[in-house]
Amino acid sequence: MTEQTDPTVSSVAITSSSEQVYSQLNAGDNVSVTATFSESVIVTDDDGIGVDNASGTPTLTIVVGSTNRTATYVSGSASTALVFQYTIQSGENDTNGISIGADSLALNSGTIRDASGNYATITHSSVAANSSYKVDTAVPTVSAVLITSSTSNTDTSEYIMPYSGASRAAYVMGRVDASEMLHICDSHLQ
């Protein structure tokens, strides 16, 4: 008699990202999410055989900022761990980190079963915002050009250019003459 215990989801967690810098994900970076099951599971696409189709495999919805995004199945079968991946798009931002709602795993016409053919119960708990996976796709911009001091005997002035953009504060300092300063102001303050 084959065993009749359905696999269940033990945990869901964001497990890795590519090209992550300073805990800030940028456009094009990949986020991986791992769903771990109570026993080894087998995944199929929508024809019920293997995972060779381009569609019809399970998905896992993550929340980037306030927007639901679909992470697609990328690996794991005959395994307790299934890995899903999402690529951060330009314009996405999440200041406190990516989160995952309860029951975000979906079959999407595929199947998740154990070796005995028992279908998995795919309900799971929510995952709080993970501050290790913040998202910042905002491009730094010049917020102000300030003349901070000048010397009376020369035609040069010091300048500071603060840049806005979370985690990208930068300053440029140097000396320019009056015509260069006008050029900087024309370029950045319009």
* CA quadruple 129, 130, 132, 135: dihedral sign: negative
Q: Which two tokens stand for residue 52?
A: 């060779």
Size of the site for Ca ion (CB under 5 A): 13
Alpha-carbon separation of residue 65 from 41, 56, 69, 91 (angstroms): 31, 26, 10, 10
Q: Is residue 186 within the footprint of Ca ion (CB under 5 A)?
A: no
Smallest gap from residue 190 Cβ to Ca ion (A): 35
**One symbol per residue from 49 to 88: x for binding Ca ion (CB under 5 A), - otherwise; what is it?**
xx-xx-----------------------------------
Beta-carbon contacts of residue 55 (< 8 Å; ≥ 6 apart): 45, 46, 108, 109
Question: With respect to Ca ion, which residue has the nearer C-beta, 92 or 94?
Answer: 94
Smallest gap from residue 115 Cβ to Ca ion (A): 8
Q: Is residue 92 within the footprint of Ca ion (CB under 5 A)?
A: no
Smallest gap from residue 29 Cβ to Ca ion (A): 16
Q: Is residue 185 within the footprint of Ca ion (CB under 5 A)?
A: no
Question: What's the CA gap between 186 and 182, in Å, rounded?
Answer: 6
Q: Is residue 118 within the footprint of Ca ion (CB under 5 A)?
A: yes
* CA quadruple 61, 108, 124, 12: dihedral sign: negative
Question: With respect to Ca ion, which residue has the nearer C-beta, 48 or 140?
Answer: 48
The neighbour count for residue 62, using CB atoms within 10 Å, is 24
Q: Is residue 94 within the footprint of Ca ion (CB under 5 A)?
A: yes
Q: Is residue 45 within the footprint of Ca ion (CB under 5 A)?
A: yes
Per-residue buried b or exposed e for 25-50, using 16+ beta carbons within 10 Å of the residue's own CB: bbeebbbbbbbbbebebbbbbeeeee
Question: With respect to Ca ion, which residue has the nearer C-beta, 132 or 151?
Answer: 132
Site residues for Ca ion per CB under 5 A: 5, 45, 47, 49-50, 52-53, 94, 96, 99, 114, 118, 129
